[in-house]
Amino acid sequence: MLYEDNHCLVVNKPAGLLAQGDVTGDPSLVDLAREYLKVKYQKPGNVYVGLVHRLDRPTSGVVLLARTSKAAGRLSTQFRDGSVEKIYHAVIDGSCPDDAGEWNDTLLKDEARNVVRVVPSGTPGGQEARLAFRVLGRSARTTELELRPITGRSHQIRVQLAARGCPIVGDRKYGAFSTLRTADDQPRIALHAQQLTFTHPTRGEVLSISAPVPAGWPAPIPEARGARSAPSRPEEHPGR
């Protein structure tokens, strides 16, 4: 648990865990959060947990949950109007040619296949996708990036990187040759939601919640040439 009060619950989702239940019937983050609240506060019956945004199953990091319907409505509005700031860390195959900048694309999702691709501007059904990036470190085969999505499209970060020939390490769905596994042998990709900044739904206070990267995070060794040194990592907290 990263943060908790009467209105919000912020957790560090492990890679391999669904954010919300689907046809597989596998346990989800919402299921686990509901059970946690039910046991901790000895609540009978159903416990409300509102999922106001999602992370893909193979992605880890900060997820914000609402504990009341009022909080869910207000937080969902923040995500829709783009006032929530999200910071991700990713390790990509290959080299990013620039140290910093912004990528603008039009994305189209194939709902049947659950795959997103970059399409020409003006394509019917296409959505604008904007992503700011900054290089944190480089190694011979990989680059570590800080990513700030300005829009919130499905699979946005994964697709915009893959479209530039820089798929995320482990992301076989979008062209990576490598594979990554979690400690319990679930597939994962080297994408971590590192920080979320939002306005508290009742107090109006701006909160920034950070999540430590998973143990074994595949960070490259930074090189001096044109790269910024990677920031120090907080210690991993068991059980988060």
Kindly list the structural domains of the chain, giving each domain's residue range(s) and its CATH number in brackets, ordered by start: 3-210 (3.30.2350.10)
Q: Among residues 222, 214, 208, 163, which one has the least CA distance to residue 189?
A: 214
Q: What's at 67, amino acid-wise? A: R
Pairing of strands 60-66, 50-51: antiparallel
- Active site includes 56? yes
Per-residue model confidence (pLDDT) at position 124: 97
Please check the confidence at residue 197 and state whether its pLDDT lies above 50.
yes
Token pair of 84 as six digits = 């929530």
> What's the chain's Rg over C-alpha atoms?
18
Name the band, by pLDDT with cuts 50, 70 and 90, for residue 23. Answer: confident
Burial 25-51 (b: 16+ CB within 10 A, else e): eeebbbeebbebbeeeeeeeeebebbb
Q: Mean pLDDT, to the nearest integer, of 26-46?
A: 94
Per-residue model confidence (pLDDT) at position 87: 98
Q: Among residues 138, 147, 142, which one has the least CA distance to residue 100?
A: 147
Q: Calculate the CA 8 to chain-centre distance.
A: 18
**Which tops the pLDDT comparison, 23 or 37?**
37
Contact 62, 211 (CB under 8 A): yes
Contact 192, 88 (CB under 8 A): yes
DSSP state of 97: S
Q: Mean pLDDT, to the nearest integer, of 99-103?
A: 97
Distance CA 143, CA 135 (A): 7
Distance CA 123, CA 103 (A): 18
Q: Among residues 185, 172, 188, 162, which one has the least CA distance to residue 61?
A: 188
Q: Mean pLDDT, to the nearest integer, of 166-188?
A: 89
Distance CA 131, CA 11 (A): 24
pTM of the model: 0.88
Catalytic residue selected from 56, 93, 105, 171: 56
Name the band, by pLDDT with cuts 50, 70 and 90, for residue 182. Answer: confident
Q: Which residue has the tokens 């919000």?
A: 8
